[in-house]
Amino acid sequence: MVFTPSLMFASLAKTVTLEDIISWWFMPVNIGLTFLIGGILGWILVKILRPKPYLEGLVIATCSSGNLGNLLLIIVPAICTEDGSPFGDSSICTSVGLSYASFSMALGGFFIWTYTFHLIRTSAAKLKALQAVVEVSKAPNNDLDASQETHLLIGQDQENVAIVVASSKSAEDTESRAIVSQESEHGKGNVSSWTKLIGFLHQILEELLAPPTLAAILGFIFGATTFLRNLIIGSEAPLRVIQDSIKLLGDGTIPCITLILGGNLTEGLRASKIKSWIVVGVICVRYIILPAIGMWVVKAAGHLGFLPSDPLFHYVLMIQYTLPPAMNIGTMTQLFNVGQEECSVLFLWTYLVAALALTAWSTIFMWILS
């Protein structure tokens, strides 16, 4: 939780200016479209393949949330230094490309720590409710006056979960016959729309205050404000030691996250509790359907004059649709203790296929832009 915010702040404060933020206005729209289109495709996949309820959020998250930061910091400079690159001088390309990647990383962090965070937290709530159903079904009923409906109190919001338990000999029968419905209450009366709205805004505010998102906001402020930027950026900056220290911490982000990813992939080799068709579906969404849609979205935006003329900017927008799932999804599953093994399996196969998919689509994108 320290390295990623440091990398975001250091990269944005140094490479992103106010003029860049204004001219790159379509990038946040494009990233929002990746989450929207990917989320819709993931929802369709969930409805078709019907995974367990607590895995629905994980499947939608892996379909919609791409690795918009760390991989771009590696891919874009590598593309710039390739012989015959269509993006011009390698040094200028690398500098501008790092700015694009930093901006993408910040925006991706905003969406991941709000939208994706909410999906995984919802999955955790479903898993807890399901575990409560199983525990109640296994417990003996000593109350002669008790009916088949048992009320449980779950969470700080005092959500009443009505659980209808049918007698069964297996856990699968219990899961299939248990009907869980959650009704929020405020005191003894119904919650008003205004109270629900306040609660929703409070929840969004808490998610926006996640360390990576907060660091991205501060990075934008320091990068866009000349006075603050001159305090920490440059050889003559009086507080440049702050930027240097933060950059040193940020440099450890990619190795640490790569180690975490390796650990998740190792777990994926040992455990496979997710249907193979779900893995195939996620791979098809992330590496076939979503990149094809994204390519036409970016081309349409270019024809409409929404994009600057820089072909590298077009390439970054296209490649955002082709990236594997965000590594932070694994962190969230560990945080909420839900779907860790299933996430490891999805990561294993999606990142294995990513080596081929990124190469193929990058070749196509550069051919289109050259």
What residues does 149 pair with on adjacent strands?
164
pLDDT, average across residues 126-131: 79
Q: Indicate if 303 and 265 belong to the same structural domain.
A: yes
Q: Indicate if 317 and 228 belong to the same structural domain.
A: yes
Q: Indicate if 218 and 239 belong to the same structural domain.
A: yes
Q: Indicate if 252 and 361 belong to the same structural domain.
A: yes
Per-residue pLDDT of 147-195, as tens digits, reads 544 444 444 444 444 433 344 444 444 444 443 444 443 444 445 678 8
Residue 134 inside a domain? The answer is no
Residue 136 inside a domain? The answer is no
CA-closest candidate to residue 350, choices 124, 83, 63, 89: 63
- Say which CATH number the domain at 327 has: 1.20.1530
Rounded Cα–Cα distance for residues 360 and 350 (Å): 15
Q: Indicate if 101 and 117 belong to the same structural domain.
A: yes
Q: Indicate if 13 and 162 belong to the same structural domain.
A: no
Q: Indicate if 95 and 164 belong to the same structural domain.
A: no
Q: Indicate if 214 and 283 belong to the same structural domain.
A: yes
pLDDT, average across residues 220-244: 83
Residue 11 inside a domain? The answer is yes
In this prediction, residue 144 has a pLDDT band, given cuts at 50, 70 and 90, of very low
Confidence at residue 226, expressed as pLDDT on a 0 to 100 scale: 81
Long-range interactions of 203-209: CB distance < 8 A, separation 24+: 203/118, 204/114, 207/113, 207/114, 207/117, 207/118, 208/110, 208/113, 208/114
Its pTM stands at 0.74
Residue type, 95: S
Contact 70, 354 (CB under 8 A): no
For the purposes of burial, counting CB atoms within 10 Å of the CB of 1, is it exposed (0-12), middle (13-18) or buried (19 or more)?
Answer: exposed
Q: Indicate if 48 and 179 belong to the same structural domain.
A: no
- Is the pLDDT higher at 11 or at 139? 11
Confidence at residue 155, expressed as pLDDT on a 0 to 100 scale: 45
Out of 63-72, 284-293, 294-303, least confident range: 63-72
For the purposes of burial, counting CB atoms within 10 Å of the CB of 359, is it exposed (0-12), middle (13-18) or buried (19 or more)?
Answer: exposed
Q: Indicate if 104 and 146 belong to the same structural domain.
A: no
Confidence at residue 45, expressed as pLDDT on a 0 to 100 scale: 94
Rounded Cα–Cα distance for residues 106 and 216 (Å): 5
pLDDT, average across residues 248-271: 70
Confidence at residue 163, expressed as pLDDT on a 0 to 100 scale: 39
Total structural domains in the chain? 2
Confidence at residue 170, expressed as pLDDT on a 0 to 100 scale: 46
Residue type, 104: S
Confidence at residue 187, expressed as pLDDT on a 0 to 100 scale: 44
Residue 64 inside a domain? The answer is yes
Confidence at residue 264, expressed as pLDDT on a 0 to 100 scale: 60
Residue 155 inside a domain? The answer is yes
Residue 78 inside a domain? The answer is yes
Out of 28-32, 123-127, 272-276, 350-354, least confident range: 272-276
Per-residue pLDDT of 219-231, as tens digits, reads 888 888 888 888 8
Domain ranges, residue 189:
142-194
Q: Indicate if 9 and 45 belong to the same structural domain.
A: yes
Confidence at residue 191, expressed as pLDDT on a 0 to 100 scale: 55
Residue 93 inside a domain? The answer is yes
Residue 291 inside a domain? The answer is yes
pLDDT, average across residues 203-231: 78
Q: Indicate if 25 and 122 belong to the same structural domain.
A: yes
Q: Does the pLDDT of residue 253 top 60, yes or no? A: yes
Average model confidence (pLDDT) for the chain?
A: 78
